[in-house]
Structure 1
Amino acid sequence: MKDTFEERLTRAMNLRASGEYEAVLTLMIELAGERPESAFVQYQAAAIHDRLGLEKAAVPYYEKSLALGLSDPEDEANAYLGLGSTYRTLGDYENARRVLMCGRGKFPSHRSFDVFLAMTLHNVGEHTEAMRLLLLLIADTSGDAEVVAYKRAIAFYAENIDRIWPGDDDSD
């Protein structure tokens, strides 16, 4: 007797928890084909492809999961982050920026979007904005006492990273 869909999905989740990713991949491809209308299953298929370094194959699963609408906000945020990051690693910086900005707008408390967006901005030569995002992230989230002591200065310089102040010398 063949296992039910739910039993196979549970097995896939258990295999993933135990690190048996290749077996999960096989199961998730099968399950995603059987339930193309399940955003959760499409997302899980994307995530396992991504985990195994199969970024190009992960994209359609991520896209479909987001188009279908994930019910769990954490899954949705992770799908946006996964798709944006995947586009970036594939060199598709325009789509990476679009997806990461969308995810960042929907989930502003997920500061990991700032990190991946900064990497994307770096890739397209927008170094000042990339640095600004990272400096603000550091200022806002660091618990390191030395960084906290300079939080205001770091936040100020994040907005003025390219500014040069005149010196106090007596020349000319």
Structure 2
Amino acid sequence: MTTGATPELAEAIQRGYDRRDRADTAPTIAHFEALLAEHPDHPVLAYEVGGAYDTAGEEETARGHYERAPALGLDGDVLRRCLCQYASTLRWLGELDESLVVLDRARREFPDSDSVRVFRALTLNDAQRSDEALAALLTVVTVVTVHAEATDLGRWAAGLRGLAQWLADGRPD
């Protein structure tokens, strides 16, 4: 979660999460803003501030932080989460094409990510591209079928994978 953070900074970030109250986000925003003020070019903190504003429903403010974090060098799993959240923010702002651009980047960088597939499906659905959205979700479902303890869909996994591909291909004859 805290790529490139000292143990002290990682602990401070965790404190922000531990004290988070989704009904009153102002203290969380203040906590992460204070950390960012102390470490103004830290990519993880830029992302965390964006997430705090996003949780508060302040998508325009979150957007700037989500854009800044990768530019500062955010990488790894935190980058994946940032791209998903940024794309979701763009979706909430009605910027569906931009959301898909961000998610396409995330797919290239994290091709096995179920979270990227799900966030992309949400954007595709909002863009009235329901077959593509359903295909993306079915892909996630069929990945889960590998883990028999997680679902009882294993019996239909091959069929669901085929249906997902057929939808993704535009329902060919």
Please give the TM-score of this superposition, normalised by the length of structure 1: 0.80
1:137 aligns with 2:149: no
User: Counterparts of 1:78-89 in structure 2 under 5 Å?
Assistant: 78-89=81-92
The answer (yes or no) to whether the contact 2:144–2:151 under 8 Å persists in 1 is no
CA offset at residue 32 of structure 1?
2.8
In structure 2, the gaps of 5 or more residues are 1-6
- CA distance in 1 between counterparts of 2:104 and 2:44 reads 22
Aligned residues: 158
- CA distance in 2 between counterparts of 1:149 and 1:9 reads 43
- CA distance in 2 between counterparts of 1:16 and 1:89 reads 23
Aligned to 1:19: 20
The answer (yes or no) to whether the contact 1:49–1:58 under 8 Å persists in 2 is yes
- CA distance in 2 between counterparts of 1:151 and 1:100 reads 25
CA offset at residue 109 of structure 1?
2.3
The answer (yes or no) to whether the contact 2:19–2:28 under 8 Å persists in 1 is no
With over 3 angstroms needed to count, the CA separation of the structure-2 counterparts of 1:8 and 1:112, relative to structure 1, is: closer
CA offset at residue 7 of structure 1?
7.1
1:50 aligns with 2:54: yes
- Give SS of 2:61's match: helix
User: Counterparts of 1:58-69 in structure 2 under 5 Å?
Assistant: 58-69=62-73
The answer (yes or no) to whether the contact 2:16–2:31 under 8 Å persists in 1 is no
With over 3 angstroms needed to count, the CA separation of the structure-2 counterparts of 1:153 and 1:115, relative to structure 1, is: same
Aligned to 2:3: none
Pairing partner for 1:113 from 111, 116, 134: 116
CA offset at residue 115 of structure 1?
0.9
The answer (yes or no) to whether the contact 1:9–1:31 under 8 Å persists in 2 is no
The answer (yes or no) to whether the contact 1:77–1:107 under 8 Å persists in 2 is yes
Aligned to 1:168: none
Give aligned-pair identity as a percent.
23
- Give SS of 1:150's match: helix
